[in-house]
Amino acid sequence: MQRPRSYALWIGGVRDPGSTWFLGSLLALSVVIAALNLLVPESSALHLSRYGLTLIGKYLCYAMLALAVDLIWGYCGILSLGHAAFFSLGGYAIGMYLMREIGPRGVYGDPVLPDFMVFLNWKSLPWFWHGFNHFAFALLMVILAPGIMALIFGWFAFRSRVTGVYFSIITQALTYALMLAFFRNDMGFGGNNGFTDFKDIMGFNLDSDRTRVVLLVITAVMLGASYIACRAIVCSRAGRVLRAIRDAESRTRFLGYRVESFKLWVFVFSAILAGIAGALYVPQIGIINPSEFSPINSIEVVIWVAVGGRGTLYGAIAGAILVNYAKTYFTSALPEVWNYALGALFVLVTLFLPRGIVGLLPLAKGNHAGKPKKDVETFIVPAKTPEPSSE
């Protein structure tokens, strides 16, 4: 890197046109949404309904999840088919806080136990539910639960050099196992129904537009912040190593880098981002249940990233928002067509747009941080080009 290492790290990161566009529009979006919902009277055609608010909040959370996947897939070549697991773990952590917040207002009116525990005839809180009455503790858990899960899982996986397809399949097994586990009533996470019927968060009524707008703005801010953090990572020296791992893992290892540690920490960071996204998602959507863990969800996230454009960060965000907007639109307007359209989209994007939708935009050609152009075509180490090691 020729650039001096100071704050050029992240300022330099967001200097490229794609990032500027993205952060600018994110800011504009939050202001406009807040104004449309709170200031414009309900009778006006321009008023943004609660439904619209929830929808945009959902898209932004998904965008953050997609960002987390793009960081490890687009830049480090780790294809996780289990990121929905980390998303859901974050969601469950905040969900536990929200359940405790309900307090005696539940259907059964028990001051401590959430409704489903009363229903299951439990007498006291299980040990892992203690502490969730404090918001700060819940926030800590939002970070720790997915983080530690990713740390343990990643430590095992990367240490034994489980790579490529093998890694993808076992992440899928992970989220599948978690889904089955959370479906069990004995686990103490509400079983099939999960958590719902939340009342308020930190004393603010979740049913009021004002709280929702604040949550939405927080989501937008968090999305922007995580974008800047990811950009800083990929533009840093470590980011270069990550890309080196993606393009030629053995070569990087022979150059003396500890490939496993790099992979591990970027994986954990990505999992935490996913967890935060989940934690922002649950209070806005108002429900979390085990189906969020389903392997199909994780695959869909990968698809958003692929459609938007891998290895660009803003592409992942654009992909998440576009695909989900299309999904919302089609499932209500033309439910029959949706699966055909989505299926065809995946096929066509993989075949004809290996760089995703943002690959079509002129600004993507500018490229950032001196990334060699050829990267995009070869991000997956092609099976046909043998590495020097095997010769």
Partner 1 sequence: MRWGCFWLGGQWLLGLLLALQSTGFVYAQLPSDAGFAGRIGALCNATFEEKNKIVESIVQSGHPSAQPTLTALLEDRLYCRSQDQKVFLIKPAPEDSPTFNLIDPLTLKDAGSASTDDITRIVTNNHLRRVLETVLARFRLSSPKASVRLQAVKEIERDLNEGNVQLLRERSAIETSSKVKKEIGIGLGLASIDSSDPRERLAAISTLAGSLRQDVLNRLQTLVEKSPDGTFVESDEHVRKAAAKAIESIESRRSFYSGIQTVLFGLSLGSVLVLIAIGLAITFGVMGVINMAHGELMMLGAYSTYVVQLLMPNYIGSSILVAVPVAFLVSGLMGILIERTIIRFLYGRPLETLLATFGVSLILQQLVRTVFTALNREVKTPDWMSGTLQLNEALAITYNRLYILIFTLIVFAALLLVLKRTRTGLEIRAVAQNRAMAKAMGIRSEWVDAITFGLGSGIAGMAGVALSQVTNVNANLGQSYIIDAFLVVVFGGVGSLWGAMVAGLLMGVVDQLLQPYAGAVLAKIFVLIALILFIQARPRGLFPATGRAAESQ
Binding site for partner 1 (CB under 8 A): 79, 153, 156-157, 159-166, 168-170, 172-174, 176-177, 180-181, 183-184, 295-296, 299, 302-303, 306, 336, 339-340, 342-347, 349-351, 354, 380, 382-384, 386, 390
**Which amino acid, one-letter code, is at 82?**
G
Q: How many CB atoms lie within 10 A of CB 131?
A: 15
What are 94's two structure tokens?
């905040």
Q: Which is nearer to partner 1, 12 or 319 (CB)?
A: 319
Contact 278, 317 (CB under 8 A): no
Q: DSSP letter for 312, please.
A: S
CB of residue 99 to partner 1, shortest distance in Å = 23
The least distance separating partner 1 from the CB of residue 160, rounded to whole angstroms, comes to: 4
Q: How far is the CB of 389 from partner 1 (least distance, A)?
A: 9
Min CB(306)–partner 1 separation in Å: 5
Tell how far CA 145 is from the center of its chain: 15
| CA 195 – CA 288 distance, rounded (Å) | 5
CB of 145 to partner 1, least distance (A): 18
Chain Cα centroid distance, residue 23 = 17
CB of 368 to partner 1, least distance (A): 23
Nearer to partner 1, 99 or 306 (CB): 306
Taking a C-beta distance cutoff of 8 angstroms, is the pair 51, 138 a contact? no
Instruction: Specify the residue, 29 or 345, whose C-beta has the smaller distance to partner 1.
Output: 345
> What's the 3-state SS for 190-236?
CHHHCEECCCEECCEECCCHHHHHHHHHHHHHHHHHHHHHHHHHHHC
Contact in structure between 47 and 40 (CB atoms under 8 Å): yes
CB-wise, 256 or 386, nearer to partner 1?
Answer: 386
170 vs 287 by CB, closer to partner 1: 170
Query: Among candidates 307, 291, 304, which has minimal Cα distance to 59?
Result: 304
Shortest spacing between CB 274 and partner 1, in angstroms: 19
Query: CA-based Rg of the chain, rounded to a whole angstrom?
Result: 22
Residue found under tokens 């020296």: 237
